[in-house]
Chains A and B, each alone.
Chain A
Amino acid sequence: DSGVTQTPKHLITATGQRVTLRCSPRSGDLSVYWYQQSLDQGLQFLIQYYNGEERAKGNILERFSAQQFPDLHSELNLSSLELGDSALYFCASSVGTTAFTDTQYFGPGTRLTVL
């Protein structure tokens, strides 16, 4: 158990809908990262927050947004969903700000299916 929690585990929804994925980082970690894992694209970095502020942006679509709250939990909002958004969405957390020097601890993921 990494100490990172994600809810829900599974989400099935229809095209055009909007969903919110939630992540609670490990105790003491200030950074939260979001990743998307799909069969054709592999594991793609979406966005990082550090202590409530956006730190780095990856391949995140304009239809997606995220935020980190004062209690450090984070939410990833996906809107106008398309079939191609079906994927596993992972949240990870780390102590510091720098993704490539800190060990990232991954949550169990949310499996999103868009029908």
Chain B
Amino acid sequence: SQQGEEDPQALSIQEGENATMNCSYKTSINNLQWYRQNSGRGLVHLILIRSNEREKHSGRLRVTLDTSKKSSSLLITASRAADTASYFCATGRSYNTDKLIFGTGTRLQVFP
């Protein structure tokens, strides 16, 4: 079963625009991670935010976490065509230490 649900399912934007993806989850977590997957390829880890953090930055990526709303957002600023990929959130549940549960993903298309 999926822990996280990403929204929107798909997003199309022009190069230079910002892209925002949201992730909602159901149970309490220890942390939340975001991964990127280029079409048909393996996932690449982007960023991890702990449950006691509210915001984290990495280059053009900004992640926020609101544990009261059980939601996270990933913002990609000044997007590039190379950002075209699927983006997944993944949660580590506080009562199950050995599993990373992935969401359904957002497909991002950035047009040049």
- Taking Cβ atoms with an 8 Å cutoff, the residues of A that contact B are 2, 4, 33, 35, 42-43, 45, 48, 55-56, 58, 88, 90, 92, 97-101, 103-109, 111
In order of increasing CB-CB distance, the 7 nearest A-B pairs are A100-B92, A106-B42, A56-B98, A43-B102, A99-B100, A106-B43, A103-B45
Decide: A109 and B41 in contact? CB cutoff 8 A.
yes
The answer, among A92, A100, A104, for a CB contact under 8 Å with B93, is A100
- Taking Cβ atoms with an 8 Å cutoff, the residues of B that contact A are 2, 29-31, 33, 35, 40-45, 48, 88, 90-93, 97-105
Give every chain A residue within 8 A of B91 (Cβ-Cβ).
Answer: 100
Give every chain B residue within 8 A of A108 (Cβ-Cβ).
Answer: 41-42
Given contacts A99-B92, A100-B31, A101-B30, contact A45 B100 (CB under 8 A): yes
Decide: A100 and B100 in contact? CB cutoff 8 A.
yes
Given contacts A45-B101, A98-B98, contact A103 B40 (CB under 8 A): no
Decide: A109 and B44 in contact? CB cutoff 8 A.
no
The answer, among A100, A107, A109, for a CB contact under 8 Å with B97, is A100
Decide: B40 and A109 in contact? CB cutoff 8 A.
yes
CB distance from B91 to the nearest CB of A (A): 7
Decide: A99 and B48 in contact? CB cutoff 8 A.
no
Give every chain A residue within 8 A of B45 (Cβ-Cβ).
Answer: 103-105
CB distance from A21 to the nearest CB of B (A): 14
**Distance, CA A88 to CA B48, complexed state (A):** 25
A-B contact pairs, 16 of them (CB 8 A): A2-B42, A4-B42, A42-B2, A45-B102, A56-B99, A58-B99, A88-B40, A90-B42, A90-B43, A92-B42, A99-B100, A100-B33, A100-B93, A100-B99, A104-B43, A109-B41
**Distance, CA A92 to CA B31, complexed state (A):** 19
Decide: B99 and A99 in contact? CB cutoff 8 A.
yes
